[in-house]
Amino acid sequence: MITVQKFGGTSVADPDRIREVAAHATRTHRRGSDVVVVVSAMGKETDQLLRLAGDVSTTQPDREMDMLITAGERKAMALVAMAITDLGMAAQSFTGSQAGFITDTTHKDAKIVELRPDRIVRALEAGVVPVIGGSQGVSTEHNVTFLGRGGSDTTAVAIAHALGADVCELYTDVAGVYSADPRIVDRAGRMPEISFDELLEMTATGCPKPAMRSVEFARRHGVKLHVRSAFTWEPGTIVTLTPESTEPEMEQAVVNAVTHDISEAKVTVSGVPDQPGIAARMFTVLADAGINVDMIVQNTSEHGRTDISFTVPHPEAEQATELINSLQGEVGAAGCGFDHDIGRVSVVGAGMKSNPGVAAKMFQILADEDINIEMISTSAIRISCVIQQADVERAVILLHTAFGLDV
Ligand code: ADP
Ligand code: ASP
Ligand code: MG
């Protein structure tokens, strides 16, 4: 049996935590499973390193930024390996490069192109616990690369897949995936299990745990995920391919979770000529600039003109607006502006597929509280509304109660 155990920043934030994590990995090994540990940087160190770079440099060359950020994980992995060794168990730390993570050459957000885990396999064969620095690799041009924020989850899932591990355990500071952000909803409950489909919708709409890329990877390759606490060590949330098939007689809840996201701004293009090819032109320009467009809504047309709104990450709103404005002559839009003060609330649940009226209920709950809906988007198992940012926390609490999720 092989268990991959990934520990987030808070789980290894100080010496006591590092010793506890080491004790847990050792315990798991002594109970009969090979263990591979993946670590994040200690506490908020990644943020500190980013700030430090900002204090020193205005140019922040990509190559040096990745070298700097990955130092956080490098520190943590060596300390965890030492702490395990102190418990009488052989352990060795490995950088992403040493662990065989080959990436593309995109700095700050590199993609894994190949994984050659030979050294990790040999360590396991020798009875050693490998401790891998998360979120890093080496590019095809031999530079150190960072896999992006939250990338340690991806490191863990990828190594679990490459080794054929039985489970990938993602340890964090809460006991699993909750029905809403426990920092906002006191009465949110841990979900004992959740389907990959629902979890993907949750992570795509603001749930930070686990990182979305790692969930996509795990689903594609069938890696079993267990999200759990590094503080209480109690069983957490098991992510399953099809929970429905395991308990077919159980009635599915219509809504299983409420998520929220305040990381995006809304861009509105007004007075766009209602003609074929205009939207294609605008969104091609945004895509070519690498701007990550999320929700898109087009209003009904009046006098041959329409409004188009879309959301983008806050730091990209201004550039998106400038790009659209630069197309003015060509596209013939009346104007373009952005609004940072928005947020998105979403309800997620597989039972929605066979239950009409969920959207109506969500809109009514918001309307009853005088919360105005600015944009709507749906999937088969999710409904999202863009509202004013100031209303987001209240909306999450209200929806959680109204959909019967309070515990
Ligand atoms: P780590 O650094 O351990 O990888 P993060 O700090 O990125 O983890 O994410 C964990 C945090 O996510 C928790 O402290 C919790 O407050 C927050 N969170 C928000 N929404 C949820 C949710 N629905 N379920 C679980 N945690 C959530
Ligand atoms: N330490 C990095 C971050 O905070 C990578 C990770 O923990 O996943 O984003
Ligand atoms: Mg984190």
Residue of minimum CA distance from atom 25 in ligand 1: 177
Residue of minimum CA distance from atom 9 in ligand 2: 149
So what's the pLDDT on residue 252?
67
Q: What is the pLDDT of residues 45-59, one digit of tens each?
A: 999 999 999 999 999
- What is the rounded average pLDDT of the residues 370-395? 96
250 — pLDDT class (breaks 50, 70, 90): low
**According to the 3-state scheme, what is the secondary structure of the chain?**
CEEEEEECHHHHCCHHHHHHHHHHHHHHHHCCCEEEEEECCCCCHHHHHHHHHHHHCCCCCHHHHHHHHHHHHHHHHHHHHHHHHHCCCCEEEECHHHHCEEECCCCCCCCEEEECCHHHHHHHHCCCEEEEECCEEEECCCCEEECCCCHHHHHHHHHHHHHCCCEEEEEECCCCCECCCCCCCCCCCECCEEEHHHHHHHHHCCCCCCCHHHHHHHHHHCCCEEEEECCCCCCCEEEECCHHHHCCCCCCCCCCEEEEECCEEEEEEEEEECCCCHHHHHHHHHHHCCCCCCCEEECCCECCEEEEEEEEEHHHHHHHHHHHHHCHHHHCCCEEEEECCEEEEEEECHHHHHCCCHHHHHHHHHHHCCCCCCEEEEECCEEEEEEEHHHHHHHHHHHHHHCCCCC
Does the pLDDT value for residue 248 go beyond 50?
Answer: no
Which residues lie at CB < 5 A from ion ligand 3?
A: 8
Determine whether the shortest distance from the Cβ of 130 to ligand 2 is under 6 A.
no
Q: What is the pLDDT of residues 193-216, one digit of tens each?
A: 999 999 999 999 999 999 999 999
Determine whether the shortest distance from the Cβ of 172 to ligand 1 is under 6 A.
yes
Does the pLDDT value for residue 249 go beyond 50?
Answer: no
Percentage above 70 pLDDT, the chain? 97
Determine whether the shortest distance from the Cβ of 136 to ligand 2 is under 6 A.
no
Residue recorded with tokens 């690498």: 290
381 — pLDDT class (breaks 50, 70, 90): very high
Atom of ligand 2 nearest to the CA of 152: 8
Q: What is the pLDDT of residues 72-93, one digit of tens each?
A: 999 999 999 999 999 999 999 9
So what's the pLDDT on residue 251?
61
Determine whether the shortest distance from the Cβ of 41 to ligand 2 is under 6 A.
yes
Q: What is the pLDDT of residues 328-342, one digit of tens each?
A: 888 888 889 999 999
Residue recorded with tokens 């909306």: 395
Atom of ligand 1 nearest to the CA of 172: 3
Q: What is the pLDDT of residues 105-132, one digit of tens each?
A: 999 999 999 999 999 999 999 999 999 9
- What is the rounded average pLDDT of the residues 169-192? 97
- With beta carbons less than 8 A apart as the criterion, state whether 1 and 35 touch: no
Residue of minimum CA distance from atom 7 in ligand 2: 40
Percentage above 90 pLDDT, the chain? 90
Rounded-to-integer distance, Cα 351 and Cα 69, Å? 42
Does the pLDDT value for residue 150 go beyond 60?
Answer: yes
What is the rounded average pLDDT for all residues in the chain? 95
- What is the rounded average pLDDT of the residues 395-399? 98
- What is the rounded average pLDDT of the residues 295-310? 89
Torsion of the alpha carbons at 330, 333, 335 and 339, rounded to the nearest 10 = -100
35 — pLDDT class (breaks 50, 70, 90): very high
